[in-house]
Amino acid sequence: MRSHRFTAGLVAAAGLLLLSACTGPAAEPKAATGAPAPADTGPLRIAVITHGTAGDAFWNVVKNGAEQAGKELNVGVEYTSDGDPGNQAKLIDNAVAQHVGGLVVSMANPEALKPSVEAAVRAGIPVVTINSGEEKSAAYGALTHVGQNEAIAGQEAGKKFRALGRKKLLCVIHEAGNIGQAQRCDGAKSGFGGEVTTLQVDISNPADAESRIRGAVRTDPSLDAVLTLNSQVAARAVSAIRAVGSPAQVGTFDLNSDVVAAIRADEVRFAVDQQQYEQGYLPVVFLKLHRDNANVVGGGKPVLTGPDLVDKSTVDKVGRYVQRGTR
């Protein structure tokens, strides 16, 4: 798998850098100028704080990536999450108070997290943002952002539907106030070229979400494409379309085992996979290299983890990694 080879290569690179740090000039107590060696050479602790909810299939993969990188690099990784922006900000504040060595933060609501992220930076704690908030990452002082550019991913989804001959697209938003989801729908509109409408549902009420999608496709029979922004909502869209007897085709963002099965059954035509395992794994590598070797990644630009479109031609290859929790 491409993401597996990529992350494995980064770990190998990290090992080489750490080895050189132990055997080269940097391992000497004093440099040639007489300056003391860095004091922060003990075990690194990193707090990963996301806006995901406990047990969510998507965020479990992010957590798996972060914890695996921690094991491989001997880094302590503490993963916590809260979908409420105020509570997430408090988790960041607590991590700062505990003097962690690095922070990994998703920013679905950047303005709500701004004071806490900036306080971490002022305290000398390096921050890597992930998943959401790419546009505010550098402004808040983060080292880099790791994630999918939502506009680009949306464009690819729109282009895919256009290639499938679809004419009218419904884009289903499941989290009010999440800027990334609006960017996905805007990108889809750009790539699709045809008519695009949006529908707001609540992911915490799956039955109501299905009912709203069912009502939308029943009311407007010209809707022949439905784009969901979450794998769980995709399953609801499939059920809604089946109940109405609509010819609409479903595409979605993100993978889980249900989406893999639905792609195999032609119930979902494709999934936009942002490879979120990398969003957990790579920041731990980057923060370790930054602490041990003063490395920075991205040159002021985000490190993109997607999009990778998975359809029937690739689903068997990718599906086995979904089952093990790394895609």
Helix orientation angle between 276-293 and 2-23, rounded to the nearest 10 degrees: 10
Same domain, 221 and 282: no
Q: Which element (helix H / strand E) includes 103? A: strand 102-106
Q: Is the pLDDT of residue 40 over 90?
A: no
Number of folded domains in the chain?
2
Same domain, 133 and 202: no
Q: Say what the pLDDT of residue 37 is.
A: 39
Which structural domain range is residue 111 located in?
Answer: 2-29+44-148+275-306
Same domain, 240 and 279: no
pLDDT, the chain, mean: 89
Same domain, 156 and 292: no
CATH code (residue 302):
3.40.50.2300
Same domain, 142 and 264: no
Domain membership of residue 249 (yes or no) is yes
pLDDT in tens, 149-206: 999 999 999 999 999 999 999 999 998 888 889 999 999 999 999 999 999 999 999 9
Same domain, 25 and 142: yes
pLDDT in tens, 283-295: 999 999 999 999 9
- Cβ within 8 Å of residue 252, ≥6 positions away: 227, 228, 229, 230, 231, 233, 234, 237, 259, 268, 270, 271, 272
Q: Is the pLDDT of residue 19 over 80?
A: no
Same domain, 232 and 291: no
Same domain, 86 and 157: no
Which amino acid would we find at residue 318? V
CB 68 within 8 A of CB 278: no
Same domain, 130 and 162: no
Domain membership of residue 36 (yes or no) is no
Cα 170 to Cα 153, 239, 254, distances in angstroms: 16, 15, 17
